Amino acid sequence: MTTTTALPRPYRITPARVLRSEWHKLRSLRSSWITLGTAAALVLGVGIVMGTTYTSDGGDSDVDTVVLVLYGSVLGTLCTVVLGILVTAGEYSSGMIRASLTAVPRRLPVLWAKAAVFTATVFTAMLATTLITFLVAQIFLGDTDQAASLNDPGVLRAVAGNAAGTTLLSLIALGLGALLRSVPGAIGAFIGGVMILPEVLTMLPYDAVETAVRYFPTQASGVLGSATPLPDAASPGTALLALTLWASATLVAAAVLLRRRDA
C-alpha cells in the first residue's frame, strides 16, 4: 500500500492580498498614526482657535466660513504629505522595498496597493477631522456673521472638498517619493514644484501663464475647500479633475520608472 503526500498549493498573489499587505505595513508603523494624529490635531486645534477668537469687527468677515474654520488644513496637509513620501521613499531608504518587490515580482501591484490604501486612510481620517472641526468651531461662531451649517449651500461640498484636496496633494507626494526614491529629494521637489513654483509663475506678466496656474495642485485644492466661488479660479469640478490628473500623472511616471529601474 502506498501513500501519497499532497503537494502544497503555490502561493497565489492576488490584489486583495497585496492590499492587505500594504494595509498591514501602514497600520503597523507607529509613525503613520503619529503623523495622522498630528495632522488631525493641527486642523482641529487651529479651527477651535479661529472659532474662539473670531470677532465680527476683526477684518475677517469677508473670509469664506469653511476656509476660516479649516485654516489649519494647511499645516495638516504638510503632515500627510510627509507621510505619503515616507510610504514610498521611506521603503527605499530602509531597503524594505526589495522584500516587497520580491514577493510581488510584477511590481506595479505594490505601487497601486500603496496608493489605494494610503488614499482611503488619509481621506477617511481627514474627512472625519474636517467635519468635527467645522461642527466644533460653529459652536463658538453661532452668534457671529460666520455662523453656518452643513446644510448651507456649498458648505458640505467644501468640507468634503478640503479632505479630498489634502488627500490628492498627499497622493502627489506619494508619487514623488516613488519617483525619486529619496525622502529629502521628494520633500524638496514637493515644496519647490508644487508649493513655490506656482507662486513664482504668477509674477510673470502673461495671461496664459496666469490661466494655467489656476489648475496647479495647490490652487485647485484651494478651490475645493471654499464654499463660495473664488474670483479668477477654476470651478470645483474642474479643480477636482485637474488635481486628480496631477496625482495620476505622478503615479504613472513612478510606475514607468518602477518597471524600468532596479530596486
Q: Distance from first CA to last CA of the chain, Å, rounded?
A: 51
Residues ≥6 apart with Cβ < 8 Å to 231? none
- Number of CB atoms found within 10 A of residue 232's CB: 7
pLDDT at 97: 83
- Residue among 236, 187, 184, 190 nearest 214 (CA): 236
Going residue by residue through the chain, which has 263 residues, state the pLDDT in tens, using 9 for 90 and above.
Answer: 445 444 445 567 788 888 898 999 998 888 899 999 999 999 999 999 999 998 877 667 778 999 999 999 999 999 999 999 999 998 888 888 888 888 887 889 999 999 999 999 999 999 999 999 999 999 999 888 889 999 999 999 999 999 999 999 999 999 999 999 999 999 999 999 999 999 999 888 888 888 899 999 999 999 999 999 888 888 999 999 999 999 999 999 999 998 887 66
Query: What's the gap between Cα 93 and its chain centre?
Result: 22
Distance separating alpha carbons of residues 61 and 146, to the nearest angstrom: 7
- Residue among 161, 145, 137, 140 nearest 227 (CA): 161
Helices H / strands E in the chain, number of each: 12, 0
Domain spans, the chain: 15-260
Distance separating alpha carbons of residues 158 and 165, to the nearest angstrom: 10
DSSP secondary structure code for residue 229 in this structure: P
Q: Quick one: the chain helix, strand, coil %, rounded to 5?
A: 75, 0, 25
pLDDT at 8: 47
pLDDT at 10: 55
Q: What does pTM read for this prediction?
A: 0.91
